[in-house]
Homo-oligomer: A and B are copies of this chain.
Amino acid sequence: MKPELDTRTKIVLAAMDLFWTKGYNSTSIADILSRTQLNSGSLYHAFPGKQDVLIAVLEAYRDGLYPNLLDPAWQGVEDPIDRIFALLDRYRWLIVETECTYGCPIGSLALELHEADPVVRNLLAVNFTGWTRAIEACLDAAGDRLPVGLDKAALAQFVLTTMEGGVMQARTHLDVTYFDRGVTMLRDHFDMLMARAARRTELI
On A, residues with C-beta under 8 Å from B are: 21-23, 25-26, 101, 103, 107-108, 110-112, 114-115, 121, 124-125, 128, 151, 153-155, 157-158, 160-162, 164-166, 168-169, 171-174, 178, 181-182, 184-185, 188-189, 192-193, 196
The complex places the Cα of A173 from the Cα of B168 at a distance, in Å, of: 19
Known contacts A22-B115, A111-B112; decide if A128 and B172 are in contact (CB<8 Å): yes
Known contacts A23-B114, A114-B21; decide if A182 and B168 are in contact (CB<8 Å): no
Contact (Cβ within 8 A) B111 A154: no
Can you name 23 A-B pairs with beta carbons within 8 Å? A23-B114, A26-B114, A103-B111, A107-B111, A108-B114, A111-B168, A111-B171, A112-B112, A124-B172, A128-B172, A128-B173, A153-B181, A154-B181, A155-B185, A157-B182, A160-B169, A161-B168, A161-B182, A161-B185, A164-B165, A164-B168, A188-B189, A192-B192
User: Can you name the residue of chain B whose Cβ is closest to the Cβ of A22?
Assistant: B114
Q: Interface majority SS on A: helix, strand, loop or mixed? A: helix
The complex places the Cα of A165 from the Cα of B166 at a distance, in Å, of: 9
Residues of B within 8 A of A182 (CB): 154, 157-158, 161
* Count of chain copies: 2
The complex places the Cα of A155 from the Cα of B165 at a distance, in Å, of: 13
A-B complex: 8 closest residue pairs judged by Cβ atoms: A161-B165, A154-B181, A158-B185, A111-B111, A192-B192, A25-B25, A108-B111, A112-B112
Residues of B within 8 A of A110 (CB): 168, 171-172
Chain B's nearest CB lies how many Å from the CB of A194? 11
A160: which of B125, B165, B184, B193 is its contact (CB, 8 Å)?
B165
The complex places the Cα of A162 from the Cα of B163 at a distance, in Å, of: 10
Residues of B within 8 A of A154 (CB): 181-182, 184-185
